[in-house]
Amino acid sequence: MPSYNQAEFIEESIRSVLLQGYPDLEFLVYDAESSDGSVNIIRKYEPWLTFWVSEKDRGQSDAINKGLRKSTGKYFNWQNSDDILTPCCLFKAVNALLEHPEASLVHGYEDVIYADGSLHATTENAFGPPTRLAPDVGRSIATLKTGTQPGCLMDRDLVLQVGGLNEDLHFVMDIDLLLRLAILKPALYLHEKLVYYRYHSATKSHNEWPETRALERLSIARNLYAMPEAQPYQSLRRDAMAQGHRYAADCFWMNGSPGKAIKHTLLDIAWSPFKHWDQRRGTAYKLKQRKISQRKMLAAQNTEF
C-alpha cells in the first residue's frame, strides 16, 4: 500500500485488507512522509503488518516496486490507501487463479465511490458475465486498455520477469504493467466486485491532466511493441498509436491546451484514417460527462464541509 496524506481514508483501506481473514497474507505499507496523521494510523495497525515505513520516495511507482522486491508471495498487487477491498475478495481471486494457471492475473469489476462513500458508477457491465479470459490480448494492445488494477492479483514471478512498474510513468503505470503481463499470459476476468475505488479531489487518475500524462500512453505504445513477445501483434501497432494520440488529445483538451489537442487529433487520424470515427465523434460527449462528474464530486465534498 503506497500512501501519502490519506489520513481521511487510510484506516478504512487498511482494515479492508486485514479483515479479509486471508491466512497467508503479506501486507506492506510505504508512506511517503505524510504530515496529516497517516503515520499514527499506520502505527496503530503495526502488529498486523508485515512491514511499514514512512520515508521519502521517488513517487508511487517507486514505492510499489520497493514492496514488490520485499514481498515473497506467489501473488501480488498494490492497494491505494483510499480504496476498499470487498469482503472475501482475496479468496475469490486466488481461487480463480488456481483454477486458471494459464492466466497472468485476475481482475474483477469495481464500484466507483465518492469521498463520502456514495456510489458514482460501476464497471460491472464493462465485461459482464461469465468469468473468462478477457480482455482479448489483441484488443488490449490495440486499444491500450486492460481490466482494472484495483482489487486484482498478479503472478508475482511474471511481474518480476517484466521488471515491475516503469518508474518513469506516473499516471498509467498500471496499464503498462498489465499489458506487458497480458502479452506473456492472458488476463482472467472474474465476474465479481472486488473493490470500491474512491474518486475524490485528490484522485490523480481523474483530476490531474499535465502534459506528462498526455504523452504516457504514447510511450506505452512505443515500448510495448518493442517486446519480442509482441511480434505476433505488430499488425495492431497503427491502432495502438492512434489510440495513444487520441488519449493525448483528450488530456490536452482537459488541461486547456486546444492547440496540442488538435495536433494529436490529427496524428490520431494519420495513424488510422479509416477507423475509429465513432470514438472520435464521442470525444466531446466524454469530455462533457467527465466535467459533470468532477462537478458532482466537488459538490459532494462541499456538502461534507
Q: Cite the residue boundaries of each domain of the chain with CATH code 3.90.550.10.
A: 2-205
Q: Find where cell 510495448 sits.
A: 224
Q: Per-residue b/e over 46-82, b at no fewer than 16 CB within 10 Å? A: eeebeebbbeebebbbebbbbbbeebeeebbbbbbbb
- Better pLDDT: 81 or 283: 81
The neighbour count for residue 163, using CB atoms within 10 Å, is: 12
Q: What is the CATH number of domain 2-205?
A: 3.90.550.10
What is the percent of the chain with per-residue pLDDT over 70, rounded to a whole number? 91
Q: How many residues does the chain have?
A: 305
Query: Quick one: DSSP state of residue 130?
Result: S
pLDDT of 274 above 80: yes
Q: What confidence tens digit (pLDDT) does each residue in 174-232 have?
A: 999 999 999 999 999 999 999 999 988 777 666 678 889 889 999 999 999 999 999 99
Query: What integer pLDDT is reported at residue 61 of this predicted model?
Result: 95
Under a CB-based contact definition with an 8 Å cutoff, are residues 166 and 212 in contact?
Answer: no
Going by pLDDT thresholds of 50, 70 and 90, the confidence category of residue 294 is low
Q: What confidence tens digit (pLDDT) does each residue in 61-85 have?
A: 999 999 999 999 999 999 999 999 9
Sign of CA dihedral 45, 51, 54, 59: negative
d(CA 180, CA 158): 9
pLDDT of 296 above 90: no
d(CA 230, CA 84): 34
Going by pLDDT thresholds of 50, 70 and 90, the confidence category of residue 133 is very high
Query: What integer pLDDT is reported at residue 290 of this predicted model?
Result: 67
pLDDT of 304 above 60: no
Query: What integer pLDDT is reported at residue 40 of this predicted model?
Result: 98
